[in-house]
Amino acid sequence: MGEPEPIPAEAYDRDYFLAECEGHEEYERTGGAVLPPRLEIALAYAGPLAGLRILDVGCGRGELVRYGAEHGAVVVGLDYAPAALSLARAILPERGGHLLSANVQALPLADDTFDLAFAFDLVEHLHPPELGGMLREVRRVLKPGGRILIHTMPNLWYYRYGYPAYRLIQRLRGRRLPADPRDRSRRVHVNIQSTRMLARSLRRAGLEARAWLRNTQDFSQEPSPALRRLYAALATVYPLAWIFCNDLFALGAKPAADSASVPPPPGVQAR
């Protein structure tokens, strides 16, 4: 058997970005000026952006490209979906930032160019060989000591153990959910990760790595306040969070001569 076929770019059309992809409400209401919580939390791990050269891999609607440019960074946003680049252009005029159409496994960029790379909500859309190729390419274009910050969801352990419990609760309330949670979307999640898997992929690409869980969900879609509190507790209290937290973060660093390891972001314990 050969390698799996990449998801075609046409699968990511305007309807996907403006109806299914998280944060579309903020994008349409504010033109990308207000970020969804998951992006705000992720950016807090990045630290100050002013003066940095940043690559946003899989830039989608372009919110991070706009944000970085408005905070003093030189930002290149890259995607292969025409719909994504069209939506990103709509919020970037006169705001700085650069957009490229390219394959993440063959970045049309010079070696040792960027201080920081973002790969937010991209990993789950890449088959394992594609993920490895993307990380190797990002390592190539990062400067020595440069970093890649990743957010991905869902959490593999949630899919295996947490979702069946959530599905049972919903069934008792009269709501039937599919046995496979991917049936709730377009089945574009082809590479569901755990923290250990994500850190291992970074290390195989030659990057020093740390990975951790951090809940970004407010469960506002749940009408019951009691259940909102329950789900929030399950997603934040360990060891239950390993099963019920659905947000994974990782930080990788290209080794530098004076850097033996990548320090953990503030508030994150090494694993």
pLDDT tens digits for 219-248? 887 778 888 888 889 889 999 899 989 999
What mean pLDDT comes out for the span 165-176?
80
Rg (CA), the chain: 18
- What does 123-146 look like in DSSP terms, one character per residue? GGGS-HHHHHHHHHHHHHHEEEEE
pLDDT higher than threshold 80 for residue 184: no
Domain residue spans of the chain = 9-155+186-220+249-253
Q: 122: pLDDT confidence band, cut at 50, 70 and 90?
A: very high
Predicted confidence band at 271 (pLDDT cuts at 50, 70, 90)? very low
Domain made up of 9-155+186-220+249-253: CATH architecture: 3-Layer(aba) Sandwich (3.40)
Relative orientation angle of helices 82-91 and 63-70, to the nearest 10 degrees: 30
